[in-house]
Amino acid sequence: MSELASCMQISKQQLTPLIGKLIDRGLAARKTDEDDRRFIHIEITDAGRSMIETLMAEMKSTFAARLNELSNTELTELGQMLSRIMKILQGN
């Protein structure tokens, strides 16, 4: 839980109820580490994976529809801007 909270840049206290809701909805499950029972792993369930796949497909479809509204010139400019942003984020 600590590692996940750190990755999400939130406290463990903020993460705990979020994980609880995912577990209550059957989208995630807690699993105690077999070697060290102090550690708890959070796993995505099959239902959680299915929901992620559905949401990703919907997002891709929506994103593609919005990109289709751009002209070729705008798409070229967008590509150039995104490339520049990636270089900045990578420190180049």
The pTM (predicted TM-score) of the whole model is: 0.68
Q: Rounded CA gap, 77 and 8, in Å?
A: 31
At residue 3, the pLDDT reads 84
Look up residue 48 and give its amino acid.
G
* 68 pLDDT above the threshold of 80: yes
Phi, psi of 91 (to 5 degrees): 80, 20
Contact status, residue 22 vs residue 48, Cβ threshold 8 Å? yes
What integer pLDDT is reported at residue 58 of this predicted model? 98
